[in-house]
Amino acid sequence: MEQGDLDVGQVVQSAMGRDKGKHFIVLDIVDDQHVVVVDGYLRRVEKPKKKKIKHLLRLNLYSGEIRKSILENKKINNAFVRKELERLGFQPKAKNGGSENACPNKM
C-alpha cells in the first residue's frame, strides 16, 4: 500500500499488532510509510498511534467532517472521533469481559 492510497479522515482497520481488527481514522500522514491514527477510545487525540501503512487495511470510508476540521486546523476531540466512527457503523469492542480476546482466566 502506498501513501497515495490513504488520506486524512479515512477509516482504516489494523491488520497487525495487539490492536488487530480495530478501526481507526487517519489523523495525519507522517511519511510514505507511516500514518497517525486515532479511535477516540484507546488511541485518543492527545496520544495518537503511529502505524506503518503496511500494517493497515484501507477501507473506502471517509469522515468528511474530521477531514474538513483537520484541513482547516480546527481542533477535534475524542467524542467527535467516536461519534464519527459510530456514524460510519463501527462500534467499539468491549473493554473487559466481553472482548473476544479477553483472557479466559479473567472471565
Helices assigned H by DSSP within the chain: 64-71, 78-87
pLDDT at 103: 52
Rounded Cα gap, residues 22 and 13, in angstroms: 6
Residue 98 has pLDDT above 50, yes or no: no
Residue 2 has pLDDT above 70, yes or no: no
Domain positions in the chain: 10-88
- Please report which confidence band the pLDDT of residue 99 belongs to, taking 50, 70 and 90 as the band edges: very low
**13-19 long-range Cβ contacts below 8 angstroms, 24+ apart:** 13/56, 13/57, 13/59, 14/51, 14/55, 14/56, 14/57, 15/55, 15/56, 15/57, 16/55, 17/51, 17/55, 19/43, 19/49
Residue 3 has pLDDT above 50, yes or no: no
pLDDT at 80: 93
Contact (Cβ atoms closer than 8 angstroms) between residue 49 and residue 19: yes
* CA distance readout (Å), 17 to 49, 54, 93: 12, 12, 16
What does the pLDDT look like over 8-66, one tens digit per residue? 999 999 999 899 999 999 999 999 999 999 999 999 999 999 999 999 999 999 999 99
- According to CATH, the topology of domain 10-88 is SH3 type barrels. (2.30.30)
Contact (Cβ atoms closer than 8 angstroms) between residue 41 and residue 82: yes
